[in-house]
Chain A
């Protein structure tokens, strides 16, 4: 059974502060690691798809790193804004199960004005 774990489950952050959270995944059979942002009543939106060990991707104030050897990825948000409030999901895609991504339970982020 493939396990994708995210921590923490929820996070409350003051506006303007920076924050980060973790996704851990199997270190074998790795193909890609996805990050999605899911705002209430909207569609999950792809942030990053990462494939290379050591890769770092950035989109505005959000960035992500990837360590495939030890099976973890960090998502960082710099200078949190109220519009960053959402659930952040990571998902693991393995070589032997391409097109079958396994989601973590998400980190629910709330930004306090």
Chain B
């Protein structure tokens, strides 16, 4: 299995809702990432988990809460989002979090989130 699977593919939520985005990989990668991408802008790093521990939080508002239950799963819990949080949320993984050398990141196809 050489894929990163993200669910759901699309999500519409109200500003008072609580929802979760899920990401799964079975490649034995020990680093996993959440990126946010707005239209015509580059993906922006939100969080990095390395060996199931949060190693980077790019000053993301607390309404986004990451969770890494095990080495294959990464969740992003969403609560009280704003319309400006509407974006494509990408998950990625890499062999480890010490620099990706010759391997690069493996990305999922993303969750398109709309906050109404």
Q: Give the residue name and chain of the B residue nearest to A45 (CB).
A: B107
Q: Identify which of residues 36-93 in chain A touch chain B, using a CB-to-CB cut-off of 8 Å.
A: 36, 41-46, 48-49, 51, 89, 93
B5 to chain A, nearest CB (A): 10
Residues of B within 8 A of A102 (CB): 42, 45
How many residues in A have their beta carbons less than 8 Å from beta carbons of B?
A: 26
Question: Interface residues of B: mostly helix, strand, loop or mixed?
Answer: loop
**A49-B102 contact in complex given A99-B31, A99-B50, A99-B55, C-beta closer than 8 Å:** yes
Residues of B within 8 A of A45 (CB): 107
Q: Identify which of residues 8-62 in chain B touch chain A, using a CB-to-CB cut-off of 8 Å.
A: 31, 33, 40-45, 48, 50, 55-56
**A105-B42 contact in complex given A43-B108, A99-B50, A99-B56, C-beta closer than 8 Å:** yes
Residues of B within 8 A of A48 (CB): 104
Q: Are A43 and B107 in contact (CB under 8 A)?
A: yes
How many residues in B have their beta carbons less than 8 Å from beta carbons of A?
A: 30
Q: Are B56 and A46 in contact (CB under 8 A)?
A: no
Interchain CB contact (< 8 A) of A34 among B3, B45, B50, B104: B104
Q: Give the residue name and chain of the A residue nearest to B92 (CB).
A: A44
Q: Are B98 and A99 in contact (CB under 8 A)?
A: yes
**Complex-state Cα separation, A102 to B44, whole angstroms:** 8
B residues contacting A by CB (< 8 A) are 3-4, 31, 33, 40-45, 48, 50, 55-56, 90, 94, 97-110
> Would you mind naming 13 contact pairs between A and B with Cβ atoms under 8 Å apart?
A31-B99, A32-B101, A34-B100, A36-B107, A48-B104, A49-B101, A49-B103, A89-B42, A98-B99, A99-B98, A100-B48, A100-B56, A103-B42
